Chains A and B, each alone.
Chain A
């Protein structure tokens, strides 16, 4: 699969200048005899397909499961999903490229999404992104991305680390977050959203 370039802020750069290879045959639905699918992944995809009246509905959960196994939506991952779901890899690629949470190139083990949409940026999210980028510079295990509104403006500025929400991050928290991740600890545990009461008068300082 062609690498999809991204702007620094996360938007896709349209691949309009990459020509398709017209000499190649279009790939059909993969032959089950030729594609090896990890049994656990196959079971997970089949369970997802069974939940819906039409099996195609399982495309998103199936791609997510394959991404968990492979680390990203690699050509092998897409082929395995296509094989179990009886769809073409091209169809699944078109789906995978539409959604922001599918990775189209190899990435680090830890996902760190920084919300840089309006409410968070009013409270310093762009600076926070820069701080984390600096602290995590050169660490291939950290997949830092700026994300659109993550729905947690009450704890702005916030991050989603391996899909767990934390915030509000103050001075020094960016550094600590990266250090915790590198040391294999739970990152900035006291800032977890799960601990926050609904309307906390002391949240975010005064």
Chain B
């Protein structure tokens, strides 16, 4: 199961430099892809079964094929605004192997016919932005990006754009507005970015990990890549494991690896004497699972069947020393802070949820509040332009269902304590 593609020799000194990357066969996939017709590159991506690694899990080949053909100003945007709590895989990939990302960007831009690419890095990642900047300068000098790449017909400029601290800019249309120099408010869809995105032009948006995987797919061929992982979830995934585990970190696993093996085998499980109480399988936006769910295979479909999602591939483990109320409150406050305020259900719903949770914490709540809170979550889901509100409503809703008893006993205890 220890097939490593993205994290292969990730700690090799100097991997971030062009010299070492080229010595390891870097930019050969780009040469190969540029010699192919764009349609053939898309066919390889399709055959690979690669699904987007940013959160939604949309098939990468199909997404690239959505862009209209013809002589238009088309754009590629790399979403490097990694802000989902618990996720730190893109940071590692950009910091340690920036050229793999740049190579993937040129391959994807060629496939989609985009002549301008942007990397939107979250503002907090200053070190990673610097590393990418110098990698871009090296690639430009070597003729791997810019005008007439490798002396051929294809040109693609790559610009690094730094955000300034806003979770919502990881949402693709919020990101586009932010990249246009505006407040990062999400847009109404449709039109989808593939039709009308950046500067109203057709735009392909991919996550760092998705793009970083493309050089490998082109090298070994889509059909060969599809042999890794499981049906409808091909390949490997970098999983960020954090929270109450002994060895937090990024681990690359084949999709379909049992979750227990990731949490216990690789990350060491919770500290001595503690048990897993709940865990988020795909960042803080995914509905929570419990100890009973540890044997679920870690892939898109298995997690969806369990009522949750793979999301960004970030496992957060919470052990039995932490009250579920603390987790819910932390979460709700985060989404309240990050809600852009454009849609009422999200703006008000996140704030109501925080206040109701605070009432539970202070002992002023009644069991009816849990029902009201659950109904607030239901009214957020599907009623906003983007899924930020849903991203709070789904985990909070799942906590109310799965930990209702604990929340109720907390309320009773607080009330008794208040009366005494």
Interface residues of A (CB under 8 A from B): 9-12, 51-54, 56-61, 63-64, 94-95, 98-102, 113, 117-119, 121-123, 147-156, 160, 163-165, 193-194, 197-201, 203-204, 206
Choice from A99, A117, A122, A201 contacting B247 with Cβ under 8 Å: A201
Instruction: Determine whether B39 belongs to the interface, using a CB cutoff of 8 Å to chain A.
Output: no
- Whether the Cβ atoms of B242 and A99 lie closer than 8 Å is no
Q: How far is the CB of A133 from chain B (nearest CB, A)?
A: 18
A11-B333, A163-B127 given. 13 additional CB < 8 A pairs? A53-B73, A57-B179, A58-B181, A100-B165, A118-B330, A119-B85, A148-B337, A151-B125, A153-B314, A153-B316, A154-B88, A156-B242, A199-B266
Q: Which residues of B contact A60 (CB under 8 A)?
A: 123, 161-164, 178, 181
Q: Which among B127, B178, B181, B251 has the highest number of chain A CB atoms within 10 Å?
A: B181
The listed residue (A11, A122, A154, A165) touching B250 by CB distance below 8 A is A154
CB contact under 8 A between A122 and B180, given known A154-B242, A154-B249: no
Q: Digitize B300-337: 1 where CB-to-A-CB distance is under 8 Å, 0 elsewhere.
A: 00000000000000101010001000110011011011
CA distance in complex: A10, B166 (Å)? 13
Contacts A60-B161, A122-B318, A154-B242; is A206 near B127 (CB within 8 Å)? no
Nearest A residue to B88, CB-CB: A151
Tell which of B182, B318, B331 touches A95, judged by Cβ atoms closer than 8 Å: B182
- Nearest A residue (CB) for B120: A60
A-B contacts, 17 of them at CB < 8 A, read A53-B116, A53-B199, A56-B182, A57-B179, A60-B161, A98-B340, A99-B164, A101-B124, A102-B164, A117-B334, A119-B316, A148-B337, A149-B85, A151-B125, A194-B127, A199-B249, A206-B268
B7 is an interface residue with CB less than 8 A from chain A: yes
**Interface presence of B122 (CB below 8 A):** yes
Chain B, 10-28, contact with A by CB distance < 8 Å: what is the 0/1 string? 1100000000000000000
Q: How many A-B residue pairs have CB under 8 A?
A: 174
Given A118-B243, A198-B249 in contact, is the A152-B268 Cβ separation under 8 Å? no
Q: Given A152-B88, A154-B248, A200-B249, are A119 and B161 neighbors across the interface (CB < 8 Å)?
A: no
Nearest CB of B to A123, in Å: 7
Cross-chain contact A156 with B248 (CB below 8 angstroms) = yes
Question: Which chain A residues border B123 with CB–CB below 8 Å?
Answer: 60, 64, 99, 101
Q: Are B243 and A98 in contact (CB under 8 A)?
A: no
Q: Is the CB of B162 within 8 A of A99?
A: no
- CB closest residue in chain A, given B335: A148
Is B251 within 8 A of A149, CB to CB? Answer: no
B contact residues vs A (CB 8 Å cutoff): 7, 10-11, 73, 82-88, 90-92, 95-96, 116, 122-127, 159, 161-167, 178-184, 199, 240, 242-244, 246-251, 266, 268, 271, 284, 314, 316, 318, 322, 326-327, 330-331, 333-334, 336-338, 340
| Chain A min CB distance to B86 (Å) | 5
Q: In whole angstroms, how far apart are the Cα atoms of A200 and B248 in the complex?
A: 8
CA of A107 to CA of B45, assembled, Å: 49
Say which residue of A10, A56, A117, A198 sits within 8 Å of B11 (CB atoms).
A198
Q: Are A52 and B124 in contact (CB under 8 A)?
A: no
A119 lies within 8 A of B243 (CB): yes
In the complex, how many angstroms separate the beta carbon of B56 from the nearest chain A beta carbon?
A: 19
When the two chains form the complex, which single residue of A61, A123, A203, A206 contacts B243, counting CB atoms closer than 8 Å?
A123
User: Does A197 contact B11, Cβ atoms closer than 8 Å?
Assistant: yes
CA distance A193 to B73 in the complex (A): 39
What chain A residues lie within 8 Å of B246 (beta carbons)? Answer: 204, 206
CB < 8 Å: which of A9, A118, A198, A204 contacts B96?
Answer: A198
Residues of A within 8 A of B333 (CB): 9, 11
Question: Which residues of B are found within 8 Å of A154, using beta-carbon distances?
Answer: 88, 240, 242, 248-250
A148 with B164: CB separation less than 8 A:
no
- Residues from chain B with a CB closer than 8 A to the CB of A201 are 247
Q: Quick one: which of A101, A147, A148, A156 has the most chain B CB within 10 A?
A: A148
Contact at B162–A61, with CB atoms within 8 Å? yes
Given contacts A101-B165, A117-B330, A153-B88, contact A54 B248 (CB under 8 A): no
